[in-house]
Amino acid sequence: MTTRIKTLTTVSALLLAMALVTACGDTPKAASGNNPATANQGADQNGAAAVNGDHVKNNGESQEQQGSDNQGAGENGSTDGEASGNSANAGNGPDMAAASDVNSVAVLVNKEFALPDEYNPADLVYPNVRFTFKEKIEKRMMRSEAAKALEELFAGAEEDGIYLAGVSAYRSHKTQTSLFNRYVKRDGEEKAKTYSAVPGHSEHETGLAIDVSGSDGKCAAEDCFGDTKEAEWLAKHAAEYGFIIRYPEGKDSITGYKYEPWHIRYVGVEIASEIAEQGITLEEYYGAIPVTANP
C-alpha cells in the first residue's frame, strides 16, 4: 500500500511539472530587431555608439534615436558602399543600417543626424534635365543614381504635359555654410532654422535632393509653388521614380522644417512607394522620431 501511494505521488509530481513547463511556454518572446520601436529600447541600454567617418553623426540628445540608428548597423553589419534604397529588407521593415550609411541613397540626414565632416559624394554627375539657369555649376549636380532617376521623372512629367526645371541640387559644405549664414543675417537664427539646414545637416549636401519648379521658374522655392500643377503632379507621381516630398505639409513637428513642396529627395522606388502609400516622412519610416535636436 505504501509503495502504491509513493508511486501515485511521483506521477502527480510529474504531471504538475509538465503543466508548469507548458504554462511557461506561453510567455511572450522578446521582440526582434524588425520592430524599430522595440529595437530602440534595447539599444538605449548600450548608450551612444562611436560613429566612424562613413556614417552620419548623431548630434541629438535622444537615446531613442541613437539606439534606432546604431542597433540597425549592429545587426546588419557594415555596408559595402553600394547599398541602395531599393535593397530594404522586404517585409521585414526598413534596413536600419542604410539610415546611417552615407553611401546609401536611403541615408537619413536631418536636424538630428549630420553628415561626417568633409563629406563629399564621390559620384556626382550632371543630370540631363532642364534647369532655371544655363551654367554647369555645383548646384546642377546629383549623385549618379539620383540623376538618372531625375531624368526619368522629368520625362514622365512631360508625357503628362508637365514641364519641370531644376532650381538647386547638390551643395558643398562650404556653400551650405555661406547660404545658412546669409539667412541667419537676414531673418535671425531661429527663423532661419525653420527653412534652412545648419551646415552638415542639409540633404543638399548628400547629392540626393533637389529643389524643382515649373519650367518658367515662377514660385521657385516659394510657398506659392504648392498651388501649381507641377507641385500637384509631383505629389502624385514622384514616388514612382524613387523620390519623396521630403518635407510634407503638416509634418513640420516631425521633420523640423516647414512644408516644402518643391524639395524632393531620392530614396529609391521601394522606400518612396512605401512612404507615399502610408503618408509618412523618412523619419517615421525609420522610427527616428521625434527629432529632438535643434542644431
Residues forming the active site: 260
Burial of 127 (0-12, 13-18, 19+ CB in 10 A): buried
39 close to 290: Cβ distance less than 8 angstroms: no
Cell of 249: 505639409
Q: DSSP letters of 90-149?
A: TTS---HHHHTBTTSTT---SSSEEPPTT---S-EE--SS-BSS----GGG-EEHHHHHH
136 φ/ψ angles, rounded to the nearest 5 degrees: -90, 85
Coil vs helix vs strand at 62: coil
- How many Å is the Cα radius of gyration of the chain? 25
Q: How many CB atoms lie within 10 A of CB 97?
A: 23
Please report the sign of the dihedral spanned by the C-alpha atoms of residue 72, residue 75, residue 79, residue 85: negative
* Cβ 231 vs Cβ 249: under 8 Å: no
Element housing 152 (H / E) = helix 144-159
